[in-house]
């Protein structure tokens, strides 16, 4: 059993009137009541005046222990809530710092990109300084079409010229504006060459 001084509202300074079978005594301090209990001069069925009503020592002790347990549980819950709140604030601060770091990194990237863009506008483009060869896309396309339908050897010429011009366009030596037409003429040259070869072989076999 907990000490009555620990259980009472006022601690060791608390004083209670006691009653047993209608006979009233006291008021006694809790130390005297504890001594009487220890000496078996009184029992747990003796009554004390607590909050203007008579209750047995047993009921008083049980009630006070329940109150103290509730208070301790409430304090533990408050401490837990305070700990959870502290953890939440730490996580919020970490998230805010992460957002600020991302924003700073984005700002630096924007400055770097703006600097690169400004430099590209201010400095002459190296590609513009190179004098490129004019493309021959029209000629290659014409050779591919004529060779495909009329003269097989022209397909070979379209194939060879198309390959050469596409390599020079990739190397930046030739104007790339005619790349699509050059590629089409080369494709016709390849297909025409293959078809003409197959036709000649088929002709001689038959």
Query: Of 38, 66, 94, which residue constitutes the final position of a domain?
Result: 66
CA dihedral (107, 112, 113, 116) in degrees, to 10, reads 160
Residue 91 inside a domain? The answer is no
Do the domain assignments include residue 116? Answer: no
Q: What is the CATH number of the domain that holds 46?
A: 3.30.1490
Range of 184's domain?
137-205
pLDDT of residue 127: 47
User: For residue 150, is it within any domain?
Assistant: yes
Structural domain count, the chain: 2
pLDDT confidence of residue 133: 87
Local mean pLDDT, 10-residue blocks, the chain (206 residues): 57 77 84 83 85 86 84 91 92 90 89 82 54 87 88 88 91 88 91 89 82
Alpha-carbon distance of 150 to 107, in angstroms, equals 63
Among residues 66, 98, 115, the one where a domain terminates is 66
The alpha carbon of 206 is separated from its chain's Cα centroid by a whole number of angstroms, namely 73
Q: How far apart are CA 148 and CA 142, in angstroms?
A: 10
Which are the contacts of 163, defined by CB distance < 8 A and separation ≥ 6? 186
Tokens of residue 112, six digits: 């770097």
Question: Which residues have a Cβ under 8 Å from the Cβ of 38 and sit 6 or more positions away?
Answer: none
Q: How far apart are CA 78 and CA 70, in angstroms?
A: 12
Q: Contact at 8 Å (CB) between 161 and 184?
A: no
Residue 169 makes CB contacts below 8 A (sequence gap 6+) with: 135, 175, 176, 179, 182
Report yes or no on 96 lying in a domain: no
Judge whether 189 lies within some domain: yes
Number of other residues whose CB lies within 10 A of the CB of residue 183:
17
- Residue 63, pLDDT score: 84
- Tokens of residue 144, six digits: 């591919």
In a domain? residue 108: no
201 is a domain residue = yes
Biggest alpha carbon–alpha carbon distance for the chain: 142
pTM above 0.85, yes or no: no
């Amino acid at each position: 059993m907990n000490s009555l001084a620990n259980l009472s509202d006022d601690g060791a300074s608390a004083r209670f009137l006691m009653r047993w079978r209608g006979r009233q005594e006291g008021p006694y301090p809790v130390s005297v009541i504890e001594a009487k209990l220890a000496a078996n001069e009184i029992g747990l069925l003796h009554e004390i005046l607590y909050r203007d009503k008579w209750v047995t020592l047993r009921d008083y002790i049980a009630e006070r222990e329940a109150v103290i347990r509730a208070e301790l549980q409430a304090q533990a819950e408050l401490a837990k809530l305070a700990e959870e709140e502290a953890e939440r604030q730490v996580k919020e601060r970490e998230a805010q710092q992460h957002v600020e770091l991302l924003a700073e990194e984005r700002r630096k990237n924007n400055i770097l990109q703006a600097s690169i863009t400004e430099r590209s506008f201010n400095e002459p483009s190296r590609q513009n300084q190179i004098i490129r060869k004019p493309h021959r896309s029209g000629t290659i396309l014409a050779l591919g079409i004529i060779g495909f339908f009329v003269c097989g050897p022209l397909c070979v010429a379209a194939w060879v010229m198309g390959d050469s011009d596409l390599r020079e366009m990739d190397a930046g030596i030739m104007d790339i504006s005619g790349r699509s037409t050059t590629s089409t003429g080369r494709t016709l040259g390849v297909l025409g060459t293959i078809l003409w070869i197959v036709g000649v072989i088929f002709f001689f076999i038959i």
